[in-house]
Structure 1
Amino acid sequence: MPYQIGLTGDVMLGRLVDEHQRRRPVTAVWGDLLEYLEGLDGLFVNLECCLSSRGRPWRRTRRTFHFRAHPDWAVPALERAGVDCCALANNHVLDFEEEALRDTLDHLDGGGIARAGAGRTREEAFEPASVTASGLDVGFVSLTDNTPEYAASGASPGTAYVEIDVDDEGTRRAVSGALERARERDPDLLIASLHWGPNMVETPPDSFREFGRWLVDEGVDLVHGHSAHVFQGIEVYEGRPILYDTGDFVDDYAVDDRLRNDRSFLFEVSVTDDGDSVELRLLPTEIDDYSVHRAGAEAAEWSRERMRELSTEFGTSFERDGEQLVLDLDS
Structure 2
Amino acid sequence: MDYHNDGYPLVQRDGGFDTVGSIETNVADGFTMATVGDLLLARPVTKGHYPGLADVLKIFHDADVTFGNLETNILDARSQGCPQAEYGGAYCISAPELGPDLKAMGFNMVSRANNHTLDWGVEGMRETSQALEENGIVYAGAGENLAQAGAARFCETARGRVALVSFTTTFEPMSRACDPAGEAPGRPGLNALRLTKNVVILAEMLESLRRVREVLPGYEPSAYDPGRVEVAGVAFKTGDKVGYSFETDPRDVAGILRNVRRGKQFSDFCIATNHGHQPGEWSQEPPDYEQFFARKLIDAGADAYVVHGPHLLRGIEIYKGRPIFYSLGNFFCQDLRTPVGADMFEAYGKDPRVDTDAEVTVDEVAKGYPTAGGFVGAQSDAVYYESVVAVSRFEQNLLAELTLYPIELGRSKRFANRGVPCPAVGPKAEAILKRLQKLSEPFGTKIEIENDVGMVRIHSISS
Deviation at 1:133, TM superposition (A): 2.7
Give 1:283-294 correspondences, 5 Å limit.
283-288=405-410, 289=417, 290-294=419-423
Matched, 1:7 2:35: yes
In the alignment, what sits opposite 1:58? 84
Give 1:45-84 correspondences, 5 Å limit.
45-53=68-76, 54-59=80-85, 61=86, 63-72=88-97, 74-84=98-108
2:441 to 288, 308, 312: 312
**Helix, strand or coil at the partner of 1:8:** strand
Structure showing greater Rg: 2
Give 1:154-303 correspondences, 5 Å limit.
154=179, 155-163=186-194, 168-185=249-266, 187-196=267-276, 197=278, 198-253=280-335, 254=365, 260-272=383-395, 274-288=396-410, 289=417, 290-303=419-432
Deviation at 1:264, TM superposition (A): 0.3
**What do the CA deviations read for 1:167-202 (whole angstroms, capped 9, x no partner)?**
6320232112211320221x2321111111242321
The aligned amino acid for 1:302 is A
For residues 219 and 330 of structure 1, the distance between their equivalents in structure 2, rounded to whole angstroms, comes to: 22
Deviation at 1:162, TM superposition (A): 1.1
For residues 324 and 382 of structure 2, the distance between their equivalents in structure 1, rounded to whole angstroms, comes to: 21
For residues 203 and 47 of structure 1, the distance between their equivalents in structure 2, rounded to whole angstroms, comes to: 23
Matched, 1:32 2:55: yes
1:121 to 123, 131, 145: 145
The aligned amino acid for 1:11 is L
Change (3 A) 1:47 1:257: closer
Change (3 A) 1:222 1:174: same
Deviation at 1:238, TM superposition (A): 2.2
For residues 200 and 149 of structure 1, the distance between their equivalents in structure 2, rounded to whole angstroms, comes to: 26
For residues 133 and 152 of structure 1, the distance between their equivalents in structure 2, rounded to whole angstroms, comes to: 30
Change (3 A) 1:133 1:299: farther
The aligned amino acid for 1:181 is R
**Helix, strand or coil at the partner of 2:430:** helix
For residues 101 and 48 of structure 2, the distance between their equivalents in structure 1, rounded to whole angstroms, comes to: 5
Contact between 1:90 and 1:144, CA under 8 Å: does it hold in 2?
A: yes
In the alignment, what sits opposite 1:97? 121
The aligned amino acid for 1:212 is A
Matched, 1:136 2:146: no
The aligned amino acid for 1:215 is L
Contact between 2:73 and 2:93, CA under 8 Å: does it hold in 1?
A: yes
* Worse-superposed segment, 147-156 or 25-34: 25-34
Identity %: 27
Contact between 1:300 and 1:323, CA under 8 Å: does it hold in 2?
A: yes
The aligned amino acid for 1:175 is I
Deviation at 1:41, TM superposition (A): 2.4
What is the TM-score of this pair, normalised by structure 2?
Answer: 0.65
* Worse-superposed segment, 26-35 or 248-257: 26-35
1:149 to 174, 184, 188: 174
Contact between 1:139 and 1:183, CA under 8 Å: does it hold in 2?
A: yes
- Give the gaps of 5 or more residues in structure 2: 1-28, 180-185, 196-245, 336-364, 367-378, 411-416
For residues 34 and 191 of structure 1, the distance between their equivalents in structure 2, rounded to whole angstroms, comes to: 21
The aligned amino acid for 2:451 is G
For residues 281 and 296 of structure 2, the distance between their equivalents in structure 1, rounded to whole angstroms, comes to: 23
Contact between 1:166 and 1:214, CA under 8 Å: does it hold in 2?
A: no
Contact between 1:194 and 1:226, CA under 8 Å: does it hold in 2?
A: yes
Deviation at 1:127, TM superposition (A): 1.2
Give the RMSD, CA atoms, in angstroms: 2.2
Contact between 1:27 and 1:77, CA under 8 Å: does it hold in 2?
A: no
Deviation at 1:221, TM superposition (A): 1.4
Contact between 2:425 and 2:452, CA under 8 Å: does it hold in 1?
A: no
Contact between 2:88 and 2:115, CA under 8 Å: does it hold in 1?
A: no
Deviation at 1:31, TM superposition (A): 4.6
How many equivalent residue pairs? Answer: 321
In the alignment, what sits opposite 1:41? 64
